[in-house]
Amino acid sequence: MSELTLTVMRLGFLAVLWLFVIVAVQVIRSDLFGTRVTQRGSRRDAARQQPAARQAAPPQQRQQAAAPNGGGRQRRGAPTKLVVSEGTLTGTTVALQGQTITLGRAHDSTIVLDDDYASSRHARIYPDRDGQWIVEDLGSTNGTYLDRNRLTTPTPIPLGAPIRIGKTVIELRK
Amino acid sequence: MSSSSNPSTHHTSTIGSIGTPSRRNTELALLVFAVVIPVFAYANVGLAINDSVPPGLLSYGLGLGLLAGVGHLVVRKFAPYADPLLLPVATLLNGLGLVLIWRLDQSKRLQALDNFVQAAPRQLLYTALGIALFVVVLVFLKDHRVLQRYTYISMVGALVLLLLPLVPGLGKNVFGARIWIQIPGLGSIQPGEFAKIVLAVFFAGYLMVKRDALALASRRVIGLYLPRGRDLGPIIVVWAISILILVFETDLGTSLLFFGMFVIMLYVATERTSWIVFGLLMSAAGAVGVATFEPHVQQRVQAWLDPMREYTLSQEGVAGHTEQSMQALWAFGSGGTLGTGLGQGNSDLIKFAANSDFILATFGEELGLAGVMAILLLYGLIVERGVRTSLAARDPFGKLLAVGLSGAFALQVFVVAGGVMGLIPLTGMTMPFLAYGGSSVLANWALIGILIRISDTARRPAPAPAPNPDAEMTQVVRP
């Protein structure tokens, strides 16, 4: 066998070997791009709601500690907590820290309502750009009532005004 | 029902690819490639040595292709979402190993040795058995979590496997290391290779249960988290066992492998750097301690520090010295960057164990730095796929098992390659897939089988979410 042929085969073999390595790396390239990282136990903006959900568990004490750092520059007279005043969840509070609070029977709601008359995604409460808290009905079956009026549009919530969802009444307090 | 949202607030994250295609066709294409390369190498060796295409080319190509095809079909049937790279890369390494073993069979120098046997046909048989074991693992191990039930049985099994070579009459002493057992009628096997896998199962099951105790119950002393005494127990036991292996079986490599695997898994389970510091300190202390007392280990260290002296002694005929390590270094040196070409080197000067422990030197000489780098990258790819599988696995046991197995694989490659290249003292271990040796091939195919099983579970698209309990009808208030 001539020297030249063997040299060509030798270099050819190395080239083929490296080609395999490169092709293999191309195959795993899809791991680097086109992947997504899923945080367990959170969907969409639920991650942001979790601090609030935790604080809801031991209601009163945690909330005071959290209040000062919440919201940064809060307006005077702005509500700091949401309190459930009627219904099965009476006494539950959720600190208001600029996050959206969802209410409904769905398990991923901030406040899960165990109430046959509530829809799974019933209403949400969120601050607008000025820090004014707004309640919005999410197309629920039985409607959301602020004082005694059924909501049709997102409405600012006055301090202490009762919001009625099914058998549950909540209000914002300082 | 209480207030608040989701109770599951674990902050572990999973990484999954979007859409998760099964990638089986990619695997098939790569597998064809992985069979063609060794066939090319085989033809190349034949042309270089005998000036003709070797007569067995077709049957070798068909045989390897058939084995790979069976492996692929079984993966397609039983693990459709498995990683597409593990099988082709393992096949390629195994095929290349076969070619090099055949090439060393052709060497006149080796044929002149009195204990010469044609190793390639046997290795082909071992490969077939290895693929068979791979198939058995995939068919019968439907879910790797089943292994979790056998945590402590695995521990006992691993210890038995490790101690078998010490049993008088069963174990045999081969060239200073007592790591073989002789089974009448079956030949000899190296139980340490299988113990590697069984031990990984035990470590994964054990650490999964104890990880919190090991990670959290600790005191902070000068920047290091010191675990409690009772949590330290297992690591001490494993350390002691690996030292005992070192002393009684004079097997440095296996000892390093087991202890290293345990430290890797401990680190992964607890995320505590202090374990690595501990592990390194303990293995250093153990190695130094044993090296001062054990003459066999001492001699290995001497040969590592001054291979030329070892070579001179062996040329003078002093018993117990070997020219292997110096010859291996010369083989690497004469290979240069691009190598001498397949079949055209003189790595057969290594003589004994040229086709097992020292097979990487043949690669180094005949394919040069470029070839060795490619081979090491292929090993790296297997390890990377293992770690990747571990990242994607959804259950902690699978995560730990995958990282333990790939860590053991990586350590073994490091120990062998480092030993042959003179980076660390030489130990009697085999290069996975490349080297001649039935136990090694069988055990590593089983290891790949388990990794493929875990990766199939990990990459399988998540099952459709359970019907939403919130979807019941909302009652309508009737005025």
B139-148 pLDDT, tens digit each: 999 898 889 8
Helix (H) or strand (E) holding B473: none
Work out the minimum CA distance from A6 to partner chain B, whole angstroms: 7
Question: What DSSP assignment string belongs to B351-385?
Answer: -TTTTTTTHHHHHHHHHHHHHHHHHHHHHHHHHHH
B100/B175: higher pLDDT: B100
- Compare B167 and B379 and report the one with higher pLDDT: B379
Give CA–CA dist A93/A104, Å, rounded. 16
Q: Report the predicted TM-score, pTM, of the whole model to 2 decimal places.
A: 0.73
Q: Which residue of A has its CA nearest to B47?
A: A1
Residue with tokens 């005949």: B366
A41 with B6: CB under 8 angstroms?
yes
Task: Identify all chain B residues contacting A46, using CB atoms and an 8 Å cutoff.
Answer: 5-6
The 10 Å Cβ neighbour count of residue A44 is 8
Q: Could you give phi then psi for residue A73, rounded to 5 degrees?
A: -95, 100
Contact between A163 and A170 under an 8 Å Cβ cutoff? The reply is: yes
Beta carbons of A53 and B388 less than 8 Å apart: no
Q: Which of B137, B197, B262 is nearest to B443 (CA)?
A: B197
CA B415 – CA B422 distance, rounded (Å): 10
Q: Which of B166-180, B356-370, B385-399 has the lowest mean pLDDT?
A: B166-180
Q: Which residues of A fall within a CB distance of 8 Å from B36?
A: 16
Q: Residues near A154 by Cβ (< 8 Å), separated by ≥ 6?
A: A134, A135, A136
pLDDT of residue A45: 45
Report helix, strand or coil for B172. Answer: strand
Q: A118 to chain B: which residues are within 8 Å by CB?
A: 474
With CA atoms as reference, the chain B residue closest to A7 would be B341
Considering only CB atoms, A10 lies closest to which of B30, B338, B378, namely: B338
pLDDT tens, position by position, B53-80: 888 888 889 999 999 999 999 999 999 9
**If you average pLDDT over every residue of chain B, what do you get?**
83
Q: Do A109 and A121 touch, CB atoms closer than 8 A? A: yes
Per-residue pLDDT of chain A (174 residues; tens, 9 = 90+): 688 888 898 999 999 999 999 999 988 876 665 555 555 544 444 444 444 444 444 444 444 434 444 444 455 677 888 888 888 888 888 888 878 888 988 888 888 888 888 888 899 998 888 888 899 988 888 889 988 888 888 888 888 889 998 888 998 888
Predicted interface score ipTM higher than 0.95: no
Mean pLDDT is highest, among A30-39, B405-414, B415-424, for B405-414
Between B194-203, B306-315, B398-407, the lowest mean confidence (pLDDT) is in B306-315
pLDDT 10s digits, A7-29? 898 999 999 999 999 999 988 87
Asked if B470 and A105 come within 8 Å (Cβ–Cβ), the reply is yes
Name the residue in chain B with its Cα closest to that of A89. B3
Q: Is pLDDT above 80 for B304?
A: yes
Q: Does B127 touch chain A (CB under 8 A)?
A: no
Q: Which residues of A82-94 are buried (b: 16+ CB within 10 A; e: fewer)?
A: bbbbebebeebbb
How close A134 comes to chain B (CA, Å)?
20
Q: Which residue of B has its CA nearest to A3?
A: B48
The answer to whether the Cβ–Cβ distance between B6 and A111 falls below 8 Å is no
Please compute Rg for chain B using Cα positions.
Answer: 25
**Cα–Cα distance for residue pair A86/A171, rounded to 1 Å:** 10
Quick check: A112 and B5 CB within 8 A?
Answer: yes
Q: Quote the CA–CA distance of B473 and A142 in Å, as a whole number.
A: 12
A116–B4 C-beta distance less than 8 A:
no
Residue in chain A closest to B388 (alpha carbons) equals: A31
The burial class, CB within 10 Å (0-12 / 13-18 / 19+), for B414 is middle
Find residue B180's DSSP bridge partners.
B172
Q: How many CB pairs under 8 A join A and B?
A: 170
What are the structure tokens assigned to B447, written together? Answer: 């290891």
B16/A contact by beta carbon, under 8 A: yes
Return the residue of A nearest to B8 by Cα. Answer: A41
Residue B374 contacts A where some CB pair is shorter than 8 Å: yes
Crossing angle, helix A46-56 and helix A59-66, to 10 degrees? 120
Coil/strand/helix, residue B223: coil
| CA atoms of A3 and B301, how far apart (whole Å) | 41
Question: A5 φ, ψ to 5°?
Answer: -60, -45
pLDDT band at B347 (very low <50, low <70, confident <90, very high): confident
Per the model's pLDDT, the better-predicted residue between B2 and A101 turns out to be A101
Give the pLDDT confidence score for residue B20 in this predicted structure: 54
Indicate yes or no: CB of A104 within 8 angstroms of CB of B471: no
Pick from B48, B84, B338: which is nearest to A1 by CB? B48
